[in-house]
Structure 1
Amino acid sequence: MNTSSASRHPVAPEKLPPVRFAYDRVTWKEIGYLLLNLPVSIIGFVYVVTVITVGAGLSITVIGLPLLAYGLAGCRLLGRLERSRARDLLGVRVEEPRPMRTGTFGFLPWLWASLKDPVAWRTGLYYGIRLPWGILTFTLTLVSLFVLWPVLPFIARGLTTVDRAMVRGLLQPSDQLERRIAELESGRGVVVDTAAADLRRIERDLHDGAQARLVALAMDLGLAREKLLEDPEAAARMVGEAHGEVKVALQELRDLARGIHPAILTDRGLDAALSSVASRCTVPVAVTVDLPARPAEAIEGIAYFTVSELLQNVSKHSRARQASVDVWRTDDRLMVQVRDDGRGGADVSGGSGLAGLGERLRSVDGLFVVSSPVAGPTVVTAELPWRDREFRRDTARR
């Protein structure tokens, strides 16, 4: 699955250089890291304990929680410095966590986001347990410089291996969480872009279609009114033509409304709505909908428009003799599958209609899989999260 450039990908563990008795550059970096452990651990431990103690102790006052929030922001900074130290001296490739996002502006959203920031709390835990380890590694390294000089490279490698594990375990951002955030941000962008494109399409269809016809209709009726007394027959003929234009405009408005959200989907659900779509396909389509209940309106609408676009592709490109649509529920997922026995070779590359469908489905935590070998058949499977339909009192009253 492709995500935005901010998505995180698993990184293969770095290979450490072999340990040698000679004091090479890597060994001196490891020794320097171990000797710095004590002052760094003391500074971090004192800061974290002070921030948490004072902030928690004053949490019943006005300044307590903001103080704790600012202190946690400082923990983020300490974590960044420690990752930089591990990267420069130990060669540990640890990605920086994403900036904290509140979602909305204002002091209270920032305060709440800061207080529950997992990156800051993991950094605080890191420095909370580092002090005993910092004392141990500093002491062993310092003593080994005078007493165990020949085997110090092996001691340094063993101690820094533990340091590397601690940095990765507590200061490395969660791959799954970061990837999920990136997917949601990418999906949100797709939803916004899709909504803007749909609004532009509706505006264009109204301007070029129904609006233009209604303007022409108003002009024709104005001319007919002027000729009503002078030439009643011509006026009647113009009124008749205007009546025909009214029918065409109404049909265009119905088609536009159906493209936004068809009434049959609202009133009768997916079974009837998909059967209506299938009846307009140039290929015979068998529709099977096996659902215990109707899903949420948003999910139902996405499933409908997905099948609608896929059947349009079948009509235009597949050269199929028959097709089928199957909809069912599996656990907490809504499954949609469209098959045809056409020529296959459906293109799912970027910029195609199928790629756009895949992006829309992924934006709501869905999946989109296309199997279309050359010479067919083509099988497109869409998977959407199942959400129960909300019960509305006004609907119940009706």
Structure 2
Amino acid sequence: MTTTTKSDALATRTRAVALAGVRGLALSLSMLPIAVLCFTLALVSVALIPIGIGLVTTPAILGGVREFADVRRRLAAEWCGIRIPSAYRPIPEDARPWTRTYALLRDPAVWRDLRWLLVDMTAGFLTALLPAVLLLYPVEGFAVAAGLWRVLADGNTYWYGFVPVTDQPSALGAGATAAVLLVAAYHLAPRLLAAHFKLTRAVLGASQGELAERVRVLTETRRDAVDTSAAELRRIERDLHDGAQARLVAMGMDLGTIEMLVDKDPAKAKQLLAQTRRSSADALTELRDLVRGIHPPVLAERGLGDAVRALVLRLPVATEVSVDLPGRADAPVESAAYFAVSEVLTNAVKHSGADRIRVDVHHADGMLRIAVTDNGKGGAVAGAGSGLSGIERRLGTFDGVLAVSSPVGGPTVVTMEIPCALS
């Protein structure tokens, strides 16, 4: 049993060493041309901003740099268990390229990515290549010891590392050196690959200041969520007190009066019974509306897509809905998205003057994305005091973002994104 366990551990360790070498070789060969290309294109694009060309090209190029950096973060986590935090600011979903360019250039994480590309082309390339060299270089040493030195030397001295090879004994010395290097590779290759990703983390990881800013934003959104929840509870209490509760009290008084009149004045008692029946129906309607405002039953039973479809059926404006959700998000995320869509649609109906609205709901790249487009007069602003600012705070609780594109004359596009996974 002990022998089997040791042999299994040895085999696992050997596979890890081989994987480190193969991954290091693949990483070094692929990352150098990509890093050089990304860095060159980014510099040229930023330099062309003053003449206008860079305003169009910069968002796509810097977005590609971010994707390249995210791939390296993912490889660090999958291959060596090294987590590299990121703190990118959201890119506004604005049709105007200069808005996106300005937002990207203001993001400190973008400039950190560019600095990382420089390191990745130099020190990063070497640290990724070393595990492969430690594994492959001993193969040459063994080949030299087996007689390849005669071809390589060709009557001269062939150097294998620091060993001069001129005859078979010196070739055996090269083979012994290769064996030592192979033992070193067995112990060092995985550590060298981890060192590469640690170097990447040192340059690419978010700084303490950025993470502190991120914590501050999340703290604010959490406080807003608590305040919103408290206000919602007060609204529910007020609606129950002024609506259904008042109707139920009135119904109780009417029933007491009916009890006294049923023998003395049956006609009046029948009239009060009819009034009480109407009051009970009104109270039931109010309770249903109240429950729908807390958490619509269709949302709990059938999910966000059908809940949005049911929502637009009550709108006085022609509305088209497109849903592409292969699963369901967590209930709090679905609820936040539903009420955000409801608020946006309400604003569109009240203020935009639109006669057509479109709602697109889909999930891609770990993001729930919702876009509400209307052909109204435009001019919507997600500023303080507007309904859109409340939606922004609601989404911020889940680390979501809201972007508004609403030029005067329309159309207005409100885009919401919430990071989430679907079941």
- The normalised TM-score by structure 1 is 0.54
- Distance of 2:372 and 2:388 partners within structure 1: 13
Q: Could you say which residue in structure 1 is the equivalent of 2:231? A: 197
Instruction: Determine whether 1:382 maps to 2:394.
Output: no
Q: Could you say which residue in structure 2 is the equivalent of 1:244? A: 278
Of 352, 369, 382, which residue of structure 1 is paired with 2:386?
352
CA deviation after TM superposition for structure 1 residue 262, in Å: 0.4
Q: Could you say which residue in structure 1 is the equivalent of 2:142? A: none
Of 295, 299, 304, which residue of structure 1 is paired with 2:329?
295
Q: How does 1:1-398 map to 2 (within 5 A)?
A: 174-389=208-423
Post-superposition, which runs of at least 4 consecutive aligned residues in structure 1 deviate over 3 A?
none
Identity of aligned pairs, percent?
48
CA deviation after TM superposition for structure 1 residue 345, in Å: 0.9
Kept in 1, the 8 Å contact 2:381–2:404? The answer is no
- Distance of 1:293 and 1:387 partners within structure 2: 9
- Distance of 1:234 and 1:203 partners within structure 2: 34
CA deviation after TM superposition for structure 1 residue 387, in Å: 3.0
CA deviation after TM superposition for structure 1 residue 276, in Å: 1.0
CA deviation after TM superposition for structure 1 residue 236, in Å: 1.0
Residue identity opposite 1:230 in structure 2: K
Q: Could you say which residue in structure 1 is the equivalent of 2:73? A: none
Q: Say which structure is richer in helix.
A: 2
- Distance of 1:222 and 1:284 partners within structure 2: 48
Paired residues in the alignment total 219
Could you report, residue by residue, the CA deviation over 1:182-217 in whole angstroms, capped at 9, with x for unpaired residues? 011111101101100110111111111111111111
Kept in 2, the 8 Å contact 1:299–1:385? The answer is no
- Distance of 1:174 and 1:310 partners within structure 2: 36
SS in 2 for 1:275: helix
Could you report, residue by residue, the CA deviation over 1:57-108 in whole angstroms, capped at 9, with x for unpaired residues? xxxxxxxxxxxxxxxxxxxxxxxxxxxxxxxxxxxxxxxxxxxxxxxxxxxx
Kept in 2, the 8 Å contact 1:283–1:314? The answer is no
- The normalised TM-score by structure 2 is 0.51
Residue identity opposite 2:301 in structure 1: D
Kept in 1, the 8 Å contact 2:340–2:394? The answer is no
Kept in 2, the 8 Å contact 1:299–1:387? The answer is no
SS in 2 for 1:373: coil
- Distance of 1:388 and 1:376 partners within structure 2: 33
- Distance of 1:286 and 1:271 partners within structure 2: 12
- Distance of 2:311 and 2:284 partners within structure 1: 20
Kept in 1, the 8 Å contact 2:320–2:357? The answer is yes
RMSD: 1.5
Residue identity opposite 1:319 in structure 2: G
Q: Which runs of 5+ in 1 are unaligned?
A: 1-168, 390-398
- Distance of 1:374 and 1:208 partners within structure 2: 41
Q: Which runs of 5+ in 2 are unaligned?
A: 1-202
SS in 1 for 2:371: strand
- Distance of 1:381 and 1:370 partners within structure 2: 6
Could you report, residue by residue, the CA deviation over 1:227-255 in whole angstroms, capped at 9, with x for unpaired residues? 01101111011011100000000000000
Residue identity opposite 1:297 in structure 2: A
SS in 2 for 1:269: helix
SS in 2 for 1:387: coil
SS in 2 for 1:375: coil
